[in-house]
Structures are given as structure tokens and as C-alpha cells.
Amino acid sequence: MHNYKGDFPIFKKTSHGKPLVYLDSSNTTQKPQCVIDTVSQFYREENANIHRGIYELSERATISFETVRQKTQALLNAKYPHEIIFTSGTTAAINLVAQSYGELLSAGDEIIISTMEHHSNIVPWQLLRDQKGIQLRIIPISDNGEMDLIEYEKCFSPRTKLVSIAHASNVLGTINPIREMISIAHANKALVLIDGAQACSHLSVNVQALDCDFYVFSAHKAYGPTGVGILYGKTEWLEKMPPYQGGGAMIEQVTFDKTTYAPLPAKFEAGTSNIANVVGFGAALDYLQTIGMETIHQHETVLLHDATKQLLTIPGLKIIGTASSKIGVISFVIEGIHPHDAGTILDRQGIAVRVGHHCAMPLMQRFNVPATMRVSFGIYNTMSDIDSLITGIHATLNFMCQ
């Protein structure tokens, strides 16, 4: 197994005087040196606003920015570059669709989401429900954390307009059968939004092959900077949807009587974008391409299987989410120990794990747990990280049982 840690300067640091073992990549990934250097270089050498200046610096910044749109198009295999909209994150992208596509809906129309969704794919639809009087239908999941496709098909009615589901669960690690789910939705004349926040740094994604109508994810979960999100949308729907925000850059002509809007993608990119971090995300995309998504998936699958095997040897430990197809995410509870206590003790050993409800309270309620511990892998994790985790959990158990 190749060791990629050397690409990430943060691992030269220690945590509480111990080597950092970072197992929270589902929360945010660490950044390779090439991304850090690219953001710094932009501010040193290219800093200017985009799409506004006729001078060289602005033109260079615009080219750098738009090149990342093309790289993102290639990552997702979108048909056109204008189908890639830059936002501030997955949350912003979902809210954009909820508020903009939501303007095309009427009271009584229905949207389907699932029990395993992140709050970012629940609350925007609840806001739309309260604004427009739409109805939400919830897909149940099985005890092992898999989508129930029989129940999913039962959720549809003639009023169903949209399905909004995760490609992969941030808590369970479950990789959902989204190709089949999209096909079922389209057969019922409903559109589909895929929350790919937990998928794009782990799996190859081809939006044309999937035939989804919208796909969203965040740069910071794919080795890029924070504050950058991607909304892919099919041209036909992006053209029908009204602008989500008004301001500079998204207009064609403004008078006090009327405003006409710029064509895609500018229509949905009001104001000054997070230019430097978008450019930095381009370096992250290059980094992912250099390694290869298949290599990344294989690397993390080996870690997932080894960690699962070792965790199951620990007395009183129960894994929440045992789907047959998973990304490198494991959530678990240990009998008699609150996750927050365990997470705090592990931190003192230099081991960073996530504890809590993971912005998925309905899912916690489904499994009747207040919180879980979660480990999630990135390309920089190694077998020795898993060994440190297992040793750390045993040390935690010994400390808690004193």
C-alpha cells in the first residue's frame, strides 16, 4: 500500500505531542501541498476579480477560474461546462435547487428524501415545505443501513416532482444504488438530485451515465479548499429555474423597471466568487486525477475491511451500518461508554475521530442511539493508523473501566 502522507504537510505536526492520526475525512479532508501552494500562488501572482477587467491580471485570473470549471466538467463527465455552477458548498448547492427549482412547484407537490440524509438534504426541503406547502415523503432503510427499494417505489405518486438522496451516507458509509433509484424516479416522471458530498473523493462519478438531473458536492471533502461547492445541473432545468440570488455578474441588463439575466452559468453565480479557493480546487482535481479514482477507492477499501475486522474484535463494540457496499466510513458505539468521552480520550492520544450525531439526527433516531463514534478514511491513511486506533480504543476502555 502506497503511503501518501508525505503529500500533506499537516502530518509533520503533532497532536498533544503525538503523531497525528487523522480519521475524520468525511468531515473535511486534509490538503496536499500542491493545493496550498496553488492558493498562495494565486494571491501572489494572479489576484484580481474575474469576468470584469480587460487588463491582463483579470484575464489571467478569469482563465484560471474557468479552467477549473472545465476540470470539474471532466471529473463528472458533464455534457457542457455551463452545467457546472460554483457555490460555497454542498449545503449552498442544495439550497439553490430547493429555492430555485422550488419556485416551479405548487402546494401539494411531493419531494422524496431518505432516512439517512444529512441535515443539509433535509432542512432546505422543510423550508420549502413551509414556504410552498409541498409534502415530504421519507424512504425507510433496513437494519443494516441499506435503502429499501421496495418501499422507495411505494413513495411515488402522481404529485412526486423530485427525489433528493445521498450517493453515500456520511454516517453509515452505505453506497446507495443511485443508478437504479434514478431510473425508478424518471419512470415516475420525477427529477433527481444526488448529494455527492461523501462520494466524489472516493468514487468515479459520471453524471451522464447516471442520468441524474442535479449532482452536488464540496471541494473541501475532495482535498480542496473550504468555501467552494459544485452544483451540476442539466441545461434544460437550469435554464427553466429562476435565479437564486441577485447582484453583480449574473445580469445581462439592469434598469429600474426590469432586469434580464446572464446566460448559464453566470445566472447562478451572483457576486464575487471564492476565486482563489476555486483555483486551489483545480489543483486538488489534478491531484485526484494523478492518483486515479480507482486507486483511491481500492486504497480505502483495504483500510475499511481491515479496520472493520479489527474493530469487531473489541468487546461491546457495535458497528452502525453494515451495508454490503460502503465507502471508507465506520460508525460505532461501545457499550457503557459515551462517544464523546471516548473521542476526548482518543484525542489525547493524537487520534482524531468524529463523535456526535453527524448532522443526521433522524438517522440516529432510526438506530436508537444518541450519537456514534465515526472513523473515515482518506488517501493519506495507512494500516498503522488503524493499529493506532485499535490500540487507542483499548487504552480508552482500560481508562474508563478503572
Residues that are catalytic: 359
Q: What gap in Å lies between CA 201 and CA 220, rounded to an integer?
A: 10
Could you give the 3-state DSSP secondary structure of residue 360? coil
Secondary structure of 256-300 as H, E, C letters: CCCEEECCCCHHHCCCCCCHHHHHHHHHHHHHHHHHCHHHHHHHH
Q: What gap in Å lies between CA 199 and CA 187, rounded to an integer?
A: 25
DSSP 115-134: TT--GGGTHHHHHHHHHH--
Q: What gap in Å lies between CA 218 and CA 148, rounded to an integer?
A: 27
Query: Which positions ≥6 away from 41 have C-beta within 8 Å?
Result: none
Reference 218, options 117, 100, 86, 70; nearest CA is: 86
Could you give the 3-state DSSP secondary structure of residue 375? strand
Reference 68, options 39, 108, 110, 45; nearest CA is: 39
Query: Which positions ≥6 away from 70 have C-beta within 8 Å?
Result: 81
**Kind and range of the H or E element at 254?**
strand 251-254
